[in-house]
Amino acid sequence: MDRKLNRPDGAGIAIALGLLALAGVIWWDATQLSAGSPYGLGPDAAPKVVAAGLAILAVLNFISAWRGTMPHRERGDLGPIFWIVGGMVALIALIALGGGFIIATAILFAATARAFGRKALLADLGIGFGLGFGAYLLFAKLLTLSLPMGPLERLL
Amino acid sequence: MDTFFALLQGLSVAIAPMNLLFALIGVLLGTAVGVLPGIGPALTVALLLPVTYKLDPAGSLIMFAGIYYGGMYGGSTTAILINTPGESASMATALEGNRMAKAGRGGPALATAAIGSFVAGTIATLGLTFLAPTLVEIAVKFGPEDYFALMCVAFVTVSATFGDSPVRGLTSLFIGLALGLFGIDKLTGQARLAFGVPELLDGVEITTLAVGLFAIGEALFVASRRSHAPEQLEPVRGSLWMSLDDWRRSWKPWLRGTALGFPIGALPAGGAEIPTFLSYSIERRLTKHPEEFGKGAIEGVAGPEAANNASAAGTLVPLLTLGLPTSATAAMMLAGFQQYGLNPGPLLFADHPQLVWGLIASLYLANVMLLVLNLPLVGLWVRLLAIPQPWLYAGILVFATMGTIAAKPSVVELGMLTLFGLMGYLMRRFDYPIAPVVVGLILGPVAEAQLRRALSISLGDPMVLLESPISATLLAIAAIALIAPFALKGLNRFKAEED
C-alpha cells in the first residue's frame, strides 16, 4: 500500500515550504508583541521557540522529500473531496445568510452521501432533512443547545 | 487501607442509578463506535463534549471512560471480522484474528478477545487503583519547573512513539504547539496570531481541532479511497464458546499481555501500538504451536487484545494523577475534565475524591458490563457494519458540524473545522500521525505557563530547570528519548552498509 518515490517529491516539498511559511508568520507575529514582565519570559518567547522548531522541521522534511524517502499513500480521487468540502461551504454560507440549521444539515448530508457514491440526491436530501429536524428537536429543544436559527426553526 | 476505603466510597458513587446509567450508555456507545470503522473513541468523546457540558461532571466523565473501554472491545470485533482495524491498537489483533475468522474459528477468536480484555482491564484497573495514590504523593512535590520538564518528556515520547518516523511525529507535534499559541496571552493580555479576527482571540478550540482532524479528515480520506479498498465481512462461524484447549492456550497470553500493556500505557510514552505488537511477537516466540501462527493462532489474539486493554487503563494513570494525556482519547478526556473547570492532577484527588474514585470504581463496573454485553450480543454489534457507508459518514459529518456550532455559535468556527478537516486529510494522505497535534494543542499552553511561572519565581534564572533534581532527570530522559531514534537510525544505516 505504501510506496516510496526515489525522486524529488513535489507534494513533500510543498509541505516543507508550507511549514516554513507557518514558521515565518509565527516569528513575524511574535516580533509585533511588546515585552511583558521584567523577570522571566515575555509573551514572544514561546512563539519564537515554536517558529524555530517548525523551521528546523521544514528543513528535515525538505531533505526527506528531496531524497524521495517520504512514504506515500496510493493516490485518492479528488471528486469526493470536492463534494464534501462543497457541502461544508454550502452549510457555512447558508448558516451565515440565516438559512438555519435544518436546511444546511440536509444539504451537507446529501453532499456527503454523494461523495460516498450514492446517486439518489433527492432522497438523501429528504433523509438529511429528517435527521436535521430530529437533531434540532432533540438538542435545541430538549438539551437547550443554541443552534443556528432560520425560517424553519422559527416555526417550531 | 486508605486506598481501599477511598475505592469503597467511589463504589458508592458509581452504583448510584444515574451513574450506572451513564456507564451503560458509555460502554454501549463505545462498543458501537469501536465496531464501526472510521470513528473511534477519541472522536466520540470530542463530539459529545459540547452536548454534555450542562450535565453532571461525574456522570459524563464516567460515560467518557466507558466509551474509552468500550471502544477497545468493539475495535477487536471489527479487526477479527473484517481485517480493517478501527484503531491502530487493534492492528496486531487483526493479524491472527482475521485468519481465525476465515478458518471458521471466529467465535473463539471473539471470545478470547472479550474475556482477555476483561481479565486485562480488571487487573490493570487494580493497578491504576493502587498506583495512582502513590503517584499523587510524588506529584504533590512537583514545582512548576518539574511540570515543565514532565511536559517535555510527554512531547518527545508522544511524537516519537506515534508513527514510524520521529521527524514526522515532531512535525505533527509542532503544528499542534503552533495552534496552541493562538489567542490572548494570559500573562500580558496581548493577542497572539489573532490577525484582527475576534473569534481567534479565545484561541483554537480543542473540540474543533479534534472533530476536524478525526471526523472530517477521516471522511475525506475514506471517501477519496472508496473505490480502491474493498472490505469483506467474515460471518461469525463456529461456536462462540472456547474449548478447554482454547482456555489453556489463552490464559498465559492474557496475563503476559497485561504485564506488557499496563506499564507501557502508564509511562508517559503512550500509544497502545507498542505493547500490542510486543505481545504479538512474544506470543509468536513462546507458542507451542508455531505452525499455526500466520494461519490463525489463538495466542496471537489473546495476548495483543489483553495488552490493548491494559494499556488503555494504564494511560489513565498519568491522565488522572498528572493531567498528562498520552493518547488521543486521553487527550479528549482531559478536555472533558477542563470543560467543567476540573484539572486532573494531585489536587483533583484532594479536592474531588468522590469524583475521581467514583470514576475509577466505575471502570470495574464498565468492564463487567462489557463482558456481559459483548459475548452474547456480538451478532447484534456485527449488524452495525451493515449501515450503508454513505449514510454513516453523512451522519457523522452532520453531528460533527452540529457539535462545533453548538459549542461556539460562529461560522468562523465552522470554517476552521473545514480547514482542520482538510489538514487531517493531508496528514493521513502523507502519513503524518494525528494524535501529537491534539496533544500539542492541549499541553503546549500548559507547558508555556509552567515555564514562565518557574522563571518568574527564580527571577529569570534558567538554571532552576537543572537545579531541581526531578526536573533535571526528566529533561535528561526527554533528551535521550529525542536523540535515541535518530541515533538508532544512524546505527541501522551503518549496519546496512556493512552487509
What is the Cβ-side half-sphere exposure of residue B30, based on CA atoms within 13 angstroms? 29
Quick: pLDDT tens for A97-134. 888 889 999 999 999 999 988 888 899 999 999 999 98
- Rounded to an integer, the average pLDDT of B369-374 is 87
Q: What is the mean pLDDT of chain B?
A: 84
The secondary structure of chain B, three-state, reads: CHHHHHHHHHHHHHCCHHHHHHHHHHHHHHHHHHHCCCCCHHHHHHHHHHHHCCCCHHHHHHHHHHHHHHHHHHHHHHHHHHCCCCCHHHHHHHHHHHHHHHCCCHHHHHHHHHHHHHHHHHHHHHHHHHHHHHHHHHHHCCCHHHHHHHHHHHHHHHHHHCCCCHHHHHHHHHHHHHHHHCEECCCCCCEECCCCCHHHHHCCCHHHHHHHHHHHHHHHHHHHCCCCCCCCCCCCCCCCCCCHHHHHHHHHHHHHHHHHHHHHHHCCCCCCHHHHHHHHHHHHHHCCCHHHCCCCCCHHHHHHHHHHHHHHHHHHHHHHHHCCCCCHHHHHHHHHHHHCCCCCCHHHHHHCHHHHHHHHHHHHHHHHHHHHHHHHHHHHHHHHHHCCHHHHHHHHHHHHHHHHHHHCCCHHHHHHHHHHHHHHHHHHHCCCCCHHHHHHHHHHHHHHHHHHHHHHHCCCCCCHHHHCHHHHHHHHHHHHHHHHHHHHHHHHHHHHHHC
Residues of B in contact with A86 (CB under 8 A): none
Is pLDDT at B97 greater than 90 in this prediction? no
Q: Are B112 and B246 in contact (CB under 8 A)?
A: yes
pLDDT given at position B497: 44
Residues of B in contact with A71 (CB under 8 A): 430-431
Quick: pLDDT tens for B122-161. 999 999 998 998 888 888 888 889 989 988 988 888 787 6
Residues of A in contact with B185 (CB under 8 A): 33, 36, 43
- Rounded to an integer, the average pLDDT of B253-262 is 91
Task: Report the chain B residue with the minimal C-alpha distance to residue A82.
Answer: B220
Q: Are B69 and B309 in contact (CB under 8 A)?
A: yes
Contact B219 A33 (CB under 8 A): no
Rounded CA-CA distance B227/A131 in Å is 27
Task: Report the chain A residue with the minimal C-alpha distance to residue B220.
Answer: A81
Least-confidence region, from A110-119, B377-386, B420-429: B377-386
pTM: 0.86
Per-residue confidence at B420, pLDDT binned at 50, 70, 90? very high
- Rounded to an integer, the average pLDDT of A32-60 is 84
pLDDT given at position B92: 81
Task: Report the chain B residue with the minimal C-alpha distance to residue A73.
Answer: B429
Rounded CA-CA distance B254/B298 in Å is 11
Per-residue confidence at B10, pLDDT binned at 50, 70, 90? confident
Q: Which residues have a Cβ under 8 Å from the Cβ of B86 and sit 6 or more positions away?
A: B33, B34, B35, B36, B37, B38, B39, B40, B71, B74, B75, B78, B79
Specify which of B32-46, B115-129, B136-150, B221-235 reaches the highest per-range mean pLDDT: B115-129
> In chain A, what percentage of residues exceed pLDDT 70?
89
- Domain boundaries, given as residue ranges, for chain A: 3-72, 79-155
Contact A117 B390 (CB under 8 A): yes
Nearest to B224 among A12, A81, A132 (CB): A81
Contact A105 B398 (CB under 8 A): yes
Specify which of A133-142, B72-81, B84-93, B347-356 reaches the highest per-range mean pLDDT: B347-356
Residues of B in contact with A43 (CB under 8 A): 185, 187-188, 190, 192
CA distance A1 to chain B (A): 10
Stronger pLDDT, B429 or B271, i.e. the higher one: B429
Task: Report the chain B residue with the minimal C-alpha distance to residue A148.
Answer: B409
Q: Which residues are paired to A71 by β-bridges?
A: A4
Is pLDDT at A10 greater than 60 in this prediction? yes
ipTM attached to this prediction: 0.91
CA distance A155 to chain B (A): 20
Nearest to A54 among B174, B430, B451 (CB): B174
pLDDT given at position B463: 84
pLDDT given at position B243: 82
pLDDT given at position A53: 94
Mutate to test the interface with B, among A49, A59, A88, A118 (most CBs of B within 10 A): A88
Residues of B in contact with A116 (CB under 8 A): 222-223, 226, 389-390, 393-394
Grid coordinates belonging to A140: 435545541
Contact B220 A29 (CB under 8 A): no
* Chain A with chain B: Cβ pairs closer than 8 A: 209
How many other C-beta atoms lie within 10 A of the C-beta of residue A22?
18
Closest by CA to B148, choosing from B447, B479, B443, is B447
Q: Are A1 and A7 in contact (CB under 8 A)?
A: no
Specify which of B117-126, B221-230, B458-467 reaches the highest per-range mean pLDDT: B117-126
Quick: pLDDT tens for B182-199. 988 877 778 888 887 888
Contact A110 B394 (CB under 8 A): yes
pLDDT given at position A26: 94
Stronger pLDDT, A150 or B303, i.e. the higher one: B303
Quick: pLDDT tens for B331-353. 889 988 988 888 888 888 888 88
pLDDT given at position A5: 56
pLDDT given at position B121: 92
Task: Report the chain B residue with the minimal C-alpha distance to residue A62.
Answer: B167
Rounded CA-CA distance B471/B465 in Å is 6
Contact A118 B390 (CB under 8 A): yes
Rounded CA-CA distance B206/B404 in Å is 10
CA distance A156 to chain B (A): 18
